[in-house]
Amino acid sequence: MTEPQIIRTPSGEEMVIIPRAEYEALIAAAHNEDEDDVAIYDARKAELAASRNGLLPQPVTEAMLKGDSLLRALRRWRDITQSDLAAKAGVGQGYISDLENCRRAGAPETLHRLARALDVPLQWLE
């Protein structure tokens, strides 16, 4: 990447000059990022339609679109810590962390206890 040239217009506005190839690469990267966002949105929407009864609250959906796992988004929506959720569900805090980071899958009984602790429909966690 070459150093950009910065010039100032007579009105004081700063302008940045970069090679056309670098400009086109920036535009392509922005376009790809938009496509990635649409793909994430479509995947989340399909996931909801296929496996959950009812709609998730908007803050939960927004958190998931930003990359949070469903469990993390629900926990934050309920404004409780991993430790508090672990205590309510009768599991360890490290286990909650593993579930939130998709390092482990929850057993059906654990998901049931988590749903009760979060006061959400079990279907949201299945």
CATH number of the domain encompassing residue 92: 1.10.260.40
Residue 34 shares a structural domain with residue 73:
no
What does the chain look like in DSSP terms, one character per residue?
Answer: -PPPEEEE-TTS-EEEE--HHHHHHHHHHHHHHHHHHHHHHHHHHHHHHHH-SSPPPHHHHHHHHTT--HHHHHHHHTT--HHHHHHHHTS-HHHHHHHHTTSS---HHHHHHHHHHHT--GGGT-
Residue 46 shares a structural domain with residue 59:
no
User: Into how many domains does the chain fold?
Assistant: 2
Q: Across all residues in the chain, what is the average pLDDT?
A: 89
Q: How far is CA 83 from CA 32, 36, 52, 75, 117, in A?
A: 38, 33, 26, 11, 12
Structural domain boundaries, residue 89? 55-126
Residue 45 shares a structural domain with residue 29:
yes
pLDDT score recorded for residue 49 = 64
6, β-bridge pairs: 16
- Under the banding of pLDDT at 50, 70 and 90, the label for residue 34 is confident
Residue 71 shares a structural domain with residue 101:
yes
Pairwise CA distance, residues 32 & 25, whole Å: 10
- Residues 93-116: tens digit of each pLDDT: 999 999 999 899 889 999 999 999
Residue 61 shares a structural domain with residue 121:
yes
Residue 60 shares a structural domain with residue 121:
yes
Residue 6 shares a structural domain with residue 64:
no
Residue 11 shares a structural domain with residue 32:
yes
pLDDT score recorded for residue 48 = 65
